[in-house]
C-alpha cells in the first residue's frame, strides 16, 4: 500500500537510461523513510549484525543497526554525517511510494547517526533532518517498466559523481543481479546481457566479466566454509578484501601466468582460500603478495616452503619470488643491451671502457661457475 502521497499535479518526468518515469519531488522527515534491507552495500553488514545479536533485522532497533553500520570502516559513515551536519542532504533520496529506498541508504544511515550523536550530546537536532529531499516513484510505475528499478540502482551508484563508489563486492552483486534478471526475464544470451550491462552501468565489458567471475570465486570461498557461522565470517572477509580475490583471479586464473585444472589450479586456489580464511591472522597482509603466492607453485622448492609452513612463511616465499623476478628483469635488460650493441655503428670511448668492465666481470663469473 502506498504510504507517501504522489498527487498527479506534482509529477515531474525524470530520465533513467533513456526511460522516462514520473517522479514526485517532496520533503520528508527522517522518521517517514525506511532503509533498504536488501541493499548490496550493506547486506553483509546486516547479516553479521543479526548473527551477533541472534535476532532478525526487524527486531533490532534502528539505533543498534545504525551504530553497527557506523562502526564498519567500509561505509565511511562519519565522513558523510559531518557533511550532512554542515550542509544537509544535498542529493535527493530516491524512494518508492511504499517508503522503500531505491537509492540513499548510506545518506539515510548518516542522518540517523547524526540524530543519535546530537541526542547523546544534548544538541538541538539540525532542521535538515526534518526536511530531507526525496524523489518519490510509484511502485506501480516501476512494475510497468521492465528492469527500470535496477536501472535506477545502476545510475544512482555506478555513474560517476561525487559519491563514495560502491565497494567492488557490492558492485559485483549488483551487476550479477541485473545479469541474472536479463537471462531469466528476457532469455538474453551471455553476450547480449553483457552488452546491456555495459550500457546500463557505464562500465566496460571486461570489467563486467571481471566482476562476475571474481564474484563466482568468492562464492566458492564462502561455500567451502561449511557451517553457517563460518560462511557468515567469510562473507565479512570478502566485504573487506574483495580486491584480493580480484588479484588472485587476474594473476592465477587469467593471462600468461594462468593455472588450470591440469597444472595445479586446485592446489593453488586451496592454499589461497586457506590463508584468506585465517583472518585476523592471515599472512597475506598486502594485495601485492597474491601474485608471488600463486606463482610460487611453479617452483617446487619454493612451494614446499609455503606448503610445509601452512602459509606462515609467506613473507619468505614472497621475497624469493620477487628476487627471481628481479633476475628475469635484469636478463631482459641484458637482451636489450645486446640488441643495441649489435646495431651500434660505432662506440664512444666511454662505452668501450664499460664494455671491457662487463667482459671482465662476465669472464670472472664464468670461471667461478667452472670451479
Q: Per-residue pLDDT tens for 101-155?
A: 888 999 999 999 999 999 999 999 999 999 999 999 999 988 877 788 888 877 7
Alpha-carbon dihedral angle through residues 15, 16, 20, 24, given to the nearest 10 degrees? -80
pLDDT per residue, tens digit, the chain (371 aa), is 568 999 999 999 988 777 888 999 999 999 889 898 888 888 899 999 999 999 999 999 999 999 999 999 888 999 999 999 988 999 999 999 988 888 899 999 999 999 999 999 999 999 999 999 999 999 998 887 778 888 887 777 666 554 567 889 999 999 999 999 999 999 999 999 999 998 888 889 999 999 999 999 999 999 999 999 999 999 999 988 999 999 999 999 998 779 988 889 999 999 999 999 998 899 999 999 999 999 999 999 999 999 999 999 999 999 999 998 777 777 778 788 888 888 887 888 888 888 888 888 888 877 765 54
Domain-located, residue 34: yes
Domain-located, residue 27: yes
Q: Report the domain count for the chain.
A: 1
Domain-located, residue 172: no
Per the CB < 8 A criterion, the answer to whether 111 and 158 are in contact is no
Domain-located, residue 250: no
Per the CB < 8 A criterion, the answer to whether 215 and 169 are in contact is yes
Domain-located, residue 140: yes
d(CA 308, CA 331): 31
Domain-located, residue 59: yes
Contacting residues for 300 by C-beta, under 8 A, at least 6 apart:
none
The reported pLDDT for the residue numbered 231 is: 95
Q: Which helix (H) or strand (E) holds 106?
A: helix 105-120
Domain-located, residue 311: no
Domain-located, residue 55: yes
Q: What does the radius of gyration of the chain's CA atoms come to, in whole angstroms?
A: 28
d(CA 331, CA 260): 28
**Can you tell me which residue has the cell 534478471?**
181
Domain span at residue 125?
A: 8-145
- Of 329, 196, 238, 218, the closest CA to residue 48 belongs to 238
Amino acid at each position: 500500500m502506498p504510504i507517501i502521497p504522489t498527487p498527479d499535479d506534482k509529477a515531474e518526468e525524470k530520465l533513467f537510461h533513456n526511460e522516462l518515469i514520473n517522479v514526485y519531488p517532496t520533503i520528508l522527515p527522517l522518521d517517514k523513510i525506511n532503509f533498504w534491507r536488501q541493499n548490496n552495500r550493506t547486506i553483509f553488514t546486516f547479516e553479521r549484525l543479526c548473527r551477533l545479536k541472534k535476532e532478525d533485522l526487524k527486531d533490532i532497533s534502528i539505533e543498534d543497526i545504525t551504530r553497527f553500520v557506523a562502526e564498519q570502516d567500509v561505509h565511511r559513515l562519519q565522513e558523510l554525517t559531518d557533511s550532512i551536519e554542515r550542509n544537509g542532504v544535498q542529493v535527493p533520496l530516491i524512494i518508492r511510494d511504499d517508503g522503500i529506498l531505491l537509492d540513499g541508504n548510506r545518506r539515510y544511515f548518516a542522518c540517523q547517526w547524526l540524530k543519535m550523536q546530537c541526542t547523546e550530546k544534548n544538541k538541538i537536532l539540525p532542521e535538515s533532518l526534518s526536511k530531507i529531499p526525496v524523489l518519490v516513484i510509484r511502485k506501480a510505475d516501476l512494475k510497468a517498466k521492465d528492469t527500470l528499478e535496477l536501472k535506477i540502482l545502476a545510475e544512482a551508484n555506478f555513474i560517476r559523481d561525487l559519491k563514495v563508489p560502491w565497494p567492488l563486492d557490492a558492485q559485483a552483486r549488483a551487476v550479477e543481479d541485473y545479469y541474472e534478471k536479463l537471462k531469466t526475464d528476457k532469455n538474453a544470451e551471455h553476450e547480449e546481457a553483457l552488452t546491456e550491462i555495459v550500457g546500463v552501468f557505464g562500465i566496460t565489458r571486461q570489467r563486467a566479466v571481471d566482476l562476475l567471475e571474481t564474484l563466482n570465486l568468492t562464492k566458492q570461498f564462502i561455500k567451502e566454509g561449511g557451517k553457517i557461522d563460518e560462511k557468515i565470517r567469510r562473507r565479512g572477509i570478502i566485504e573487506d578484501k574483495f580486491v584480493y580475490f580480484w588479484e588472485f583471479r587476474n594473476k592465477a586464473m587469467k593471462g600468461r601466468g594462468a593455472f588450470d585444472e591440469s597444472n595445479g589450479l586446485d592446489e593453488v586456489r586451496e592454499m589461497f582460500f586457506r590463508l584468506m580464511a585465517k583472518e585476523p591472522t592471515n599472512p597475506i597482509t598486502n594485495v601485492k603478495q597474491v601474485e608471488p603466492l600463486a606463482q610460487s607453485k611453479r617452483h617446487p622448492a619454493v612451494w614446499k616452503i609455503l606448503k610445509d609452513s601452512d602459509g606462515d612463511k609467506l613473507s619468505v616465499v614472497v621475497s624469493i619470488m620477487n628476487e627471481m623476478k628481479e633476475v628475469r628483469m635484469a636478463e631482459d635488460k641484458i637482451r636489450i643491451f645486446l640488441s643495441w650493441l649489435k646495431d651500434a655503428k660505432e662506440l664512444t670511448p666511454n662505452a668501450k671502457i664499460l664494455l671491457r668492465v662487463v667482459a671482465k666481470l662476465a669472464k670472472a663469473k664464468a670461471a667461478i661457475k667452472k670451479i
